[in-house]
Amino acid sequence: MTITEIMQQVKSLSLQERRELVKLLSDSLQQGEEPKKHSILELAGLGEEVWQGIDPQEYINQLRSEWDERP
């Protein structure tokens, strides 16, 4: 059945029946799919390219030396 055919049938309904149909349709949309819940694990590897070519120990040493330079 097409939407056009459904609309033809809806037009034959009383005003009260059409209101009830709208409410049922609205309720069915409210009960639609729940948003997908994400896991923190999906972030694994994100931004990996930023760290390419950087030695982790050198980076840590640089950060620690900056701490020593702070007033």
Q: pLDDT tens, 47-62?
A: 999 999 999 999 999 9
The mean pLDDT of the chain is 89
pLDDT at position 24 is 92
Number of domains observed in the structure of the chain: 1
Residue 68 resides in a domain: no
pLDDT at position 19 is 95
How does residue 32 score in pLDDT terms, banded at 50, 70 and 90? low
Residue 60 resides in a domain: no
Range of the domain at 25: 1-30
Residue 49 resides in a domain: no
User: In whole angstroms, what is the distance from residue 44 CA to residue 25 CA?
Assistant: 40
- How buried is 9 (Cβ within 10 angstroms: 0-12 exposed, 13-18 middle, 19+ buried)? exposed
How does residue 29 score in pLDDT terms, banded at 50, 70 and 90? confident
Residue 65 resides in a domain: no
Residue 23 resides in a domain: yes
